[in-house]
Amino acid sequence: DETNEWVYKDVNNGVYQCGFSTTQRAYEDASARVRKGLDRCNDILSKQSWLCSDSVFTEADVRLLPTILRYDGAYAPLFKAGGVHTRIRTDYPHIYAWLKRCWRMEGVPESIDLAQACGSYYAQLFPLNPGGIVPTGITANALGLDSP
């Protein structure tokens, strides 16, 4: 429960607080929380395979997965979460390794359309993307999830 709490506050909800901030101060506070949450996840995952255990995939991992899958394709570039230039793939190696482990779990790749999961933010959030331009869809291959 404690892990779920800070993952939600700092990462899952933090990205939305970045995207919908109406003042610079609110954005900077939210962005700092996102970085703090990602740093904490990265640190934990440098020592164990999953957020709450080295051997058990838990609810905390399930709750984090959708946000991390969308981070590089939507939350960082569109919401400017954690700073517009941060990326899971390049800046958080242990989260990225965790993401690849999650992606290899049975049924995960077949149940998630990454291009849709990220592209819908660009198409539907007019205040953040008034031109309605949807970038080329991100793929598992582009994220390096299909490679060993």
- Which of 87, 13, 11, 85 lies closest to 44 in space, CA to CA? 11
138 has pLDDT over 80: no
Question: What letter represents residue 23's amino acid?
Answer: T
Question: What letter represents residue 16's amino acid?
Answer: Y
pLDDT tens figures, 5-41: 999 999 999 999 999 999 999 999 999 999 999 999 9
pLDDT tens figures, 66-121: 999 999 999 999 999 988 788 999 999 999 999 999 999 999 999 999 888 888 88
* pLDDT value at residue 3: 97
Categorize the per-residue pLDDT at 130 as very low, low, confident or very high, splitting at 50, 70 and 90. confident
* pLDDT value at residue 148: 62
SS3 of residue 93 by DSSP: helix
> What's the pTM value of the predicted model, to 2 decimals?
0.89
2-124 folds as Glutathione S-transferase Yfyf (Class Pi); Chain A, domain 2 (1.20.1050)
Burial 113-126 (b: 16+ CB within 10 A, else e): ebbebbbebbeebe
